[in-house]
Structure 1
Amino acid sequence: MGTPQLHLPTGSGRYDEDALAEVRAAFTRAVELTTPLIGLSDVDVAAIDAPDETIPGWGCGGYTYGPHSVLLALDPAVRIKPDRLLATLVHEFHHVMRERGPGCGSSLRERIVSEGLAMLFEEEVLGVASEFAHQAVEPEQIALAVAQLDQDPADESRWFFNAAEIPLWFGYTVGYQWARAYAATTSTKASQLVHTPADAITAAAEAR
């Protein structure tokens, strides 16, 4: 199995060595923390200069392209907090390994569950899930999502990014709540649930 590899921006001159060193350090630490738990291997992380793809206020953002590739978007104008880099990479590494099983899918059910499990994995590894897991959501909004879990493809702008009547980061918070409840009921951890089918995790919410 191949060791995870980090590919950094070169040539543009928009990154000083201190900033690049922080990205390297976060990557190394994320690999060290997650590999024993989920068997991380054979993945390339491409860090790119892409301010528009970063999380507002964070200066970084992540996206998993299948089972072997992660994009780490960076904004060279923002001095990124090391814990945010670390959380982003830990989160995406859970997605990478889930892609080697059932995948992260395209339906609302699969997208909410995969994001929730990755948030729960942040908590397992780092002691706390990022702020996206802790937003205020209303029971009627959750009921609306439950009724549309088979929407495929999911309207991600609506369910995750503050479109229409759904609050910002809704899908991350609800997914985290469902994943956390399932883990508690089954006495398992997010690292053990990488390949758990999404419908197993949503079953309790649908039964209400």
Structure 2
Amino acid sequence: MRLRRPSEPPPWHLHLLRTGGDMADHVGPVRLAAEAARAAIHRIVPCPALDLLLRRAGPEATLPDLGLAAVALEPRLMALNGDPSARAFGRSLHDGALVRVLVHEAHHCLRMAGPGYGRTLGEALVSEGLAGAFVSAALGTVPEPWEDAVGEATLLRHWPAPDILAAPCDHGRWFAGTGDLPLWIGYALGYRIASRWAMLTRPKGRDWTEVSARAVIETAALA
């Protein structure tokens, strides 16, 4: 049995779900991406052991531009949906997209173990924005298309008032484009808020996962 060095993060455990269709042919690239994500996270904040469920899914449960999607279920549990029939799926396994997705969702898991994802719009914006900014910090990457989906004028026009930030989050309206707001406006706002906070505070370690939504919003408002 190989002993883990003290500086190494605990392992992530991959569980292959088969009832929705076999994903065994894709286990190798997923393991490599998970290792890269785990190492990148651990360079900034202690990365706990996680269980990662790998399951086959259709386009309704994946991002069309990636052919995959992940979701944080609990502080130590993530699920990764893959659609091998999607044109982008194979590319996403190898071009870094899967690593970015895993780092993003793992940040949600870490935050669930601390202050939580949150229920209000402000808390959701901060949780999504912090996860996106954390990916950029950990991997040196640019914002995802949904985090850079609208221009400055649109962001300013839709900047929520304090009472709206404190209200329960309508996730579909703010993040999925199901209502009257521009598609992905919530991701773009969140990334802008979290990026401003990071620029001003230079977070280290658990600052990335344990800062309160209120502190992030108040700091970003000063920028």
Q: TM-score, normalised by structure 1?
A: 0.88
In structure 2, the residue matched to 1:131 is: 145
Q: 1:147 to 1:190 in 2, by over 3 A?
A: farther
What stretches of structure 2 of length at least 5 have no aligned partner? 1-8
Q: Contact 1:38–1:97 (CA<8 Å) still a contact in 2?
A: no
Q: Contact 2:20–2:57 (CA<8 Å) still a contact in 1?
A: no
In structure 1, the residue matched to 2:6 is: none
Structural mapping, 1:66-105, within 5 Å: 66-78=74-86, 79-80=89-90, 81=92, 82=94, 83-105=96-118
Q: Contact 1:87–1:130 (CA<8 Å) still a contact in 2?
A: no
Structural mapping, 1:1-208, within 5 Å: 3-10=11-18, 14-15=22-23, 17=25, 19-51=26-58, 52-78=60-86, 79-80=89-90, 81=92, 82=94, 83-128=96-141, 129-137=143-151, 138=154, 139-143=156-160, 146-152=162-168, 154-188=169-203, 192-204=207-219
Counterparts of 1:31 and 1:178 in 2: how far apart (Å)?
25
SS across alignment from 2:210: coil
Q: Deviations over 1:91-146 (max 9, x none)?
A: 011111111110111211111100000000110122123222111151221246x5
CA root-mean-square deviation: 2.3
The alignment of Structure 1 onto Structure 2 pairs a total of residues equal to 205
Q: 1:121 to 1:207 in 2, by over 3 A?
A: closer
Identical-residue share of aligned pairs (%): 29
Q: Which amino acid aligns with 2:51?
A: D
Deviates more, 1:43-52 or 1:112-121: 43-52
Q: TM-score, normalised by structure 2?
A: 0.83
Deviation of 1:163 after TM superposition, in Å, equals: 2.3
Counterparts of 1:156 and 1:189 in 2: how far apart (Å)?
29
Counterparts of 1:136 and 1:169 in 2: how far apart (Å)?
8
Q: Contact 2:175–2:186 (CA<8 Å) still a contact in 1?
A: yes
